[in-house]
Amino acid sequence: MNNNKLKIRGARQHNLKNLDIDIPKNKLVVISGLSGSGKSTLAFDTIYAEGQRRYVESLSAYARQFLEMMDKPDVDSIEGLSPAISIQQKTTSKNPRSTVGTTTEIYDYLRLLYARVGIPHCPSCSRRISNQSVETICDSVLKDFDGKKVLVLAPIIQRKKGTYEKLFEQIKKDGYSRIRLNGQITSLDEEIPPLDRQKWHWIEIVVDRITAAKAEKSRLFEAIQNALAAAKGQVMIAAEKENKIFSQNNACPHCGVTIGELEPRTFSFNSPFGSCKACNGLGVKMEFDFDLVIPDKTKSILDGAIVPWSGRFSSFRRQELRAVG
């Protein structure tokens, strides 16, 4: 027996006329011909039917009760046949929410995959987004800034416009005496010059100044905890000219973009949590094309410049226009 070929002898299923054919295995084989010449009969009703029938027969009686047994095709012999899989062409759906993923039924599996093992990145700066515990942040600071004097800062304003007089008062009431304003350490006990409301500003609360060492871990831990509470989940560590931001939230520490926890619905275009806000998950936006509305901009309204207002309803549209003014 030649294992490299599928040998079919005496195929008479439907309109096949005692066909003998050898088909190479492990190759891409295309069956072509005129409509009604027996292409589908050979592929589906003969080769697939016999392959599926033989496979089901090899299973236990218990397993066979759950599978459909196909009739034996009208053929003398088929040699070299393996268990077969059949994928038939179906009419595509005209539903705008039907995609390749939904049609092939892999869409739900992909959503689960992305939600469970996906690593989010900031859409603005492409940096990796991750949430960290206080313990993890503290260990990272001790590792990255070992032996250095650092400022533990709470970044409350990052690249925003305003004057912030009331904010300064509130920070002082909360028990803090210093801030870093646009990169400069400033005492809240002194008068702060008015800020230009038209310029960007950066404001961080100075929570503590400490040496990053294991001996100071408990104090560092407390300072990081206070900074996270003041800045709603973010803390900045500054040493000389180096600034590093850590976040407890699923948010970009540099751009402030928040994505929330990854869930399967995050990747669903049928859910308001995951669908695009511009197209509502359809991939198409309804917009006016003013070149189609007014193709000839040299015409007046009376001459039919507005195409939707032309035709048999043109007089009615003109009356509406006069009525509004």
- Tell me which long-range contacts 178-184 makes (C-beta under 8 A, separation of at least 24): 178/205, 178/206, 179/203, 179/204, 179/205, 179/206, 180/151, 180/153, 180/204, 180/206, 180/238
Q: What is the pLDDT of residue 184?
A: 93
Q: Are 111 and 267 spatial neighbours (Cβ–Cβ below 8 Å)?
A: yes
Q: Are 269 and 85 spatial neighbours (Cβ–Cβ below 8 Å)?
A: no
Phi and psi at residue 110, to the nearest 5°: -65, -40
Q: Hey, what amino acid is at 324?
A: V
- CATH architecture group of domain 134-247: 2-Layer Sandwich (3.30)
Closest among 257, 258, 260, 253 to 155, alpha carbons compared: 253
Q: Are 159 and 200 spatial neighbours (Cβ–Cβ below 8 Å)?
A: yes
Ranges of each domain in the chain: 5-79, 134-247, 290-323
How long is the chain? 325
The mean pLDDT values, 10 residues at a time, for the chain of 325 residues are: 84 93 92 91 93 90 83 93 81 75 87 91 85 89 92 93 92 94 93 91 95 93 95 91 85 73 88 86 84 87 78 74 74
Closest among 16, 48, 49 to 33, alpha carbons compared: 16
List of residues 6+ apart from 13 with CB closer than 8 A: 41, 42, 45, 46, 49, 73, 74, 75
Q: What is the pLDDT of residue 284?
A: 83
Q: What is the pLDDT of residue 155?
A: 94
